[in-house]
Amino acid sequence: MARAATTTDAFNAVAEPRRREILDLLAGGERPVNDVVRALGLAQPQVSKHLRVLREVGAVDVRDDGRRRLYRLNGHALKPIHDWVKAYEESWSERFEQLDAVLDDLKKEQGDDDGDDE
Protein backbone atom coordinates (compact mmCIF):
# COMPACT_ATOMS: atom_id res chain seq x y z
CA MET A 1 0.00 0.00 0.00
CA ALA A 2 1.06 3.60 -0.43
CA ARG A 3 3.45 4.77 2.20
CA ALA A 4 4.30 8.35 3.02
CA ALA A 5 7.49 9.48 1.35
CA THR A 6 9.21 10.44 4.53
CA THR A 7 12.83 9.95 5.40
CA THR A 8 11.78 8.63 8.80
CA ASP A 9 10.40 5.52 7.16
CA ALA A 10 12.67 2.49 6.81
CA PHE A 11 11.00 1.60 3.49
CA ASN A 12 11.88 4.97 2.02
CA ALA A 13 15.39 4.88 3.43
CA VAL A 14 16.18 1.66 1.59
CA ALA A 15 14.32 2.65 -1.60
CA GLU A 16 17.42 4.49 -2.84
CA PRO A 17 19.87 2.14 -4.65
CA ARG A 18 22.96 3.85 -3.23
CA ARG A 19 21.65 3.51 0.29
CA ARG A 20 21.05 -0.17 -0.34
CA GLU A 21 24.66 -0.43 -1.48
CA ILE A 22 25.76 1.13 1.79
CA LEU A 23 23.64 -1.33 3.76
CA ASP A 24 25.07 -4.26 1.78
CA LEU A 25 28.56 -3.00 2.50
CA LEU A 26 27.88 -2.56 6.21
CA ALA A 27 26.29 -5.99 6.36
CA GLY A 28 29.87 -7.24 6.07
CA GLY A 29 30.85 -5.43 9.26
CA GLU A 30 31.53 -2.04 10.77
CA ARG A 31 33.32 0.39 8.42
CA PRO A 32 34.88 3.82 8.69
CA VAL A 33 33.19 6.41 6.52
CA ASN A 34 36.21 6.60 4.21
CA ASP A 35 35.76 2.95 3.30
CA VAL A 36 32.17 3.61 2.37
CA VAL A 37 33.17 6.56 0.21
CA ARG A 38 35.80 4.49 -1.56
CA ALA A 39 33.52 1.48 -2.08
CA LEU A 40 30.72 3.55 -3.57
CA GLY A 41 32.90 5.82 -5.68
CA LEU A 42 30.80 8.82 -4.72
CA ALA A 43 31.86 12.18 -3.34
CA GLN A 44 32.07 12.38 0.42
CA PRO A 45 29.15 14.89 0.82
CA GLN A 46 26.79 12.59 -1.09
CA VAL A 47 27.80 9.62 0.99
CA SER A 48 27.35 11.66 4.16
CA LYS A 49 23.85 12.62 3.02
CA HIS A 50 22.88 8.98 2.46
CA LEU A 51 24.40 7.95 5.78
CA ARG A 52 22.41 10.68 7.51
CA VAL A 53 19.13 9.36 6.07
CA LEU A 54 20.03 5.84 7.14
CA ARG A 55 20.97 7.09 10.60
CA GLU A 56 17.67 8.96 10.95
CA VAL A 57 15.64 5.78 10.49
CA GLY A 58 18.09 3.92 12.71
CA ALA A 59 19.22 1.61 9.90
CA VAL A 60 22.84 2.40 10.76
CA ASP A 61 24.54 3.36 14.00
CA VAL A 62 27.64 5.47 14.23
CA ARG A 63 30.37 5.74 16.84
CA ASP A 64 33.60 7.66 17.11
CA ASP A 65 36.85 5.77 17.34
CA GLY A 66 39.52 8.39 17.84
CA ARG A 67 39.42 10.41 14.65
CA ARG A 68 37.41 7.88 12.70
CA ARG A 69 33.66 7.69 12.48
CA LEU A 70 32.60 4.06 12.30
CA TYR A 71 29.27 3.02 10.83
CA ARG A 72 27.53 -0.27 11.40
CA LEU A 73 24.27 -1.86 10.32
CA ASN A 74 21.37 -1.97 12.76
CA GLY A 75 19.23 -4.81 11.52
CA HIS A 76 16.53 -4.07 14.06
CA ALA A 77 15.41 -0.94 12.23
CA LEU A 78 14.96 -2.97 9.06
CA LYS A 79 12.63 -5.38 10.79
CA PRO A 80 9.44 -3.74 9.45
CA ILE A 81 10.61 -4.57 5.94
CA HIS A 82 11.54 -8.07 6.93
CA ASP A 83 8.12 -8.59 8.52
CA TRP A 84 6.37 -7.22 5.45
CA VAL A 85 8.15 -9.65 3.14
CA LYS A 86 7.92 -12.58 5.53
CA ALA A 87 4.31 -13.60 4.84
CA TYR A 88 4.93 -13.54 1.09
CA GLU A 89 8.10 -15.54 1.62
CA GLU A 90 6.14 -18.02 3.71
CA SER A 91 3.61 -18.64 0.93
CA TRP A 92 6.46 -19.44 -1.48
CA SER A 93 8.09 -21.68 1.11
CA GLU A 94 4.85 -23.65 1.31
CA ARG A 95 4.66 -23.94 -2.45
CA PHE A 96 8.24 -25.11 -2.67
CA GLU A 97 7.70 -27.70 0.04
CA GLN A 98 5.00 -29.20 -2.16
CA LEU A 99 7.39 -28.99 -5.11
CA ASP A 100 9.97 -30.94 -3.06
CA ALA A 101 7.44 -33.76 -2.79
CA VAL A 102 6.80 -33.69 -6.54
CA LEU A 103 10.55 -33.81 -7.19
CA ASP A 104 11.01 -36.77 -4.84
CA ASP A 105 8.37 -38.54 -6.87
CA LEU A 106 10.04 -37.67 -10.20
CA LYS A 107 13.38 -38.90 -8.91
CA LYS A 108 11.78 -42.19 -7.93
CA GLU A 109 10.13 -42.56 -11.33
CA GLN A 110 13.43 -41.89 -13.03
CA GLY A 111 15.10 -44.51 -10.84
CA ASP A 112 12.35 -47.01 -11.73
CA ASP A 113 12.67 -46.30 -15.44
CA ASP A 114 16.40 -46.96 -15.30
CA GLY A 115 15.81 -50.25 -13.51
CA ASP A 116 12.89 -51.45 -15.59
CA ASP A 117 14.47 -50.59 -18.90
CA GLU A 118 11.10 -49.53 -20.33
Partner 1 sequence: MTTVTTSSQKAKVTLPADEQILITREFDAPRDLVFKAWTTPELVGRWWAGKRGEVTSAEIDLRVGGRWRYVMVTSDGFEVAFHGEYREIVASERLVSTEVYEGAPVPDPEAGATLNTATFTETDGRTLLEVLVECPSREVRDAIIDSGMEGGMQEGMDLLEQVAQSLR
Give the phi and the psi of residue 80 in degrees, each rounded to 5: -55, -40
Closer to partner 1 at the Cβ: 2 or 4?
2
List residues near partner 1 by CB under 8 A.
Answer: 1-2, 15, 17, 81, 84-108, 110-111
CB of residue 3 vs partner 1: minimum separation in angstroms?
Answer: 8
Report the residue number, 7 or 110, with the smaller CB distance to partner 1.
110
Minimal distance, residue 46 CB to partner 1, in Å? 19
Kindly state the smallest distance separating residue 108's Cβ from partner 1, in Å: 6
Q: How far apart are CA 80 and CA 78, in angstroms?
A: 6
Residue 51 Cα distances to 17, 57, 86, 99, angstroms: 13, 10, 26, 42
Which residue lies nearer to partner 1 by CB, 18 or 38?
18
